[in-house]
């Protein structure tokens, strides 16, 4: 059974990825500093605490487990914070990834599946985004992810490090069996914030910006179910196992939902009202981000089977009611 090093495996997406990697016959080895993840989420393989910038610790992990591939999730990911504190993002995301890849090269682990983001495209209004669109990030989060993509390309040229890059759109939902789910401190993602309001943990949901150039004035995002997303990562590992060339894939559904539409869907699924207040736009938020790519479906055979808004909210609501980490 092959070991896969999963950086950030104690986080929201990483913990779900560990579950599907285990089901696919791999042993996911979580490497996480627990700055935003939860040790309780590590249920499907070994846990090793460590930081991306700790080269000596990384060398120990590579020597101990000799992973076949890296699935690299670990990153800071709050857009607003990245605008206020860009140095954090360049140090943690870029410097940390560089240290990880250098350790991997020395250990002979040359297959990487990388968690990138549609934020690398920036704000391209009225453009349905595919992998060939220009990358013009408007915040340090997106810029840091683009820089890591560049590092991977340089490392392939110099060291033969092949990679699959996934540029995500918005991720939502939870494990249907509620073994793992979405929980952040502080919480910044729309669906769990909505469910906190529905559940009485918050008084109201703040809509940040109602004057966008969209039909209802709120920004539009393409949402993909977390289980569909992590299924793509297993396909990415297999892609590299088969010796295929490095490739970039968008992961989205091609369907956009405004903030108000997500609120309406949440109310319909939970049969509870969602009190809202209107606030100003947040710096760094794009008007509309929607995938126009079918490359992942055509080449990887990926299908976003659970990525309806109703299913994403229903699965997240099940997890929400089952309990949270950190309580």
Task: Label each residue of the chain as H, E or C.
Answer: CCEEEEECCCCHHHHHHHHHHHHCCCEEEEEECCCCCCHHHCCCCCEEECCCCCHHHHHHHHHHHCCCEEEECCCCCCHHHHHHCHHHHHHHHHHHHHHHHHHHHHHCCCEEEEEEEHHHHCCCCCCCECCCCCCCCCCHHHHHHHHHHHHHHHHHHHHCCEEEEEEECEEECCCCCCCCCCCCCCCCCHHHHHHHHHCCCCCCEEEECCCCCCCCCCCEEEEEEHHHHHHHHHHHHHHHHCCCCCEEEEECCCCEEEHHHHHHHHHHHHCCCCCEEEECCCCCCCCEECECCCHHHHHHCCCCCCCCHHHHHHHHHHHHHHCCCCC
Catalytic position from the list 12, 26, 141, 168: 141
Is 31 marked active-site?
no
Catalytic residues: 141
């Amino acid at each position: 059974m092959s070991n896969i090093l999963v950086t950030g495996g104690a986080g929201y997406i990483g913990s779900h990825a560990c579950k599907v990697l285990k089901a696919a016959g791999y042993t996911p080895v979580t490497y996480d500093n627990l700055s935003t993840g939860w040790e309780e989420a590590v249920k499907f393989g070994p846990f090793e605490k460590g930081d991306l910038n700790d080269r000596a610790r990384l060398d120990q992990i590579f020597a101990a487990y000799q992973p076949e591939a890296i699935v690299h999730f670990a990153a800071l990911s709050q857009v607003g914070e990245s605008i206020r504190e860009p140095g954090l993002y360049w140090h943690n995301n870029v410097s940390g990834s560089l240290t990880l890849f250098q350790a991997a090269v020395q250990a002979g682990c040359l297959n990487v599946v990388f968690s990138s983001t549609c934020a690398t495209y920036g704000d391209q209004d009225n453009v349905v985004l595919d992998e060939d669109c220009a990358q013009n990030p408007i915040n340090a989060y997106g810029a840091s992810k683009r820089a890591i993509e560049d590092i991977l390309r340089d490392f392939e040229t110099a060291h033969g490090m092949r990679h699959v890059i996934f540029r995500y759109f918005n991720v939502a939902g939870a494990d249907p069996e509620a073994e793992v789910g979405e929980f952040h401190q502080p919480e910044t993602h729309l669906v769990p914030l909505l469910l906190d309001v529905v559940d009485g943990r918050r008084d109201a949901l703040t809509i940040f910006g109602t004057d966008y150039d969209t039909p209802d004035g709120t920004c539009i995002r393409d949402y993909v179910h977390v289980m569909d997303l992590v299924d793509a990562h297993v396909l990415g590992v297999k892609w590299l196992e088969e010796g295929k060339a490095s490739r970039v894939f968008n992961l989205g559904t091609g369907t956009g939902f405004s903030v108000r539409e997500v609120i309406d869907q949440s109310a319909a699924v939970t049969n509870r009202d969602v009190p809202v207040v209107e606030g100003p736009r947040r710096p760094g938020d794009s008007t509309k981000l929607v995938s126009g790519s079918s490359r992942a479906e055509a080449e990887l055979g990926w299908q976003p089977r659970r990525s309806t808004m109703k299913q994403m909210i229903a699965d997240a609501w099940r997890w929400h009611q089952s309990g949270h980490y950190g309580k």
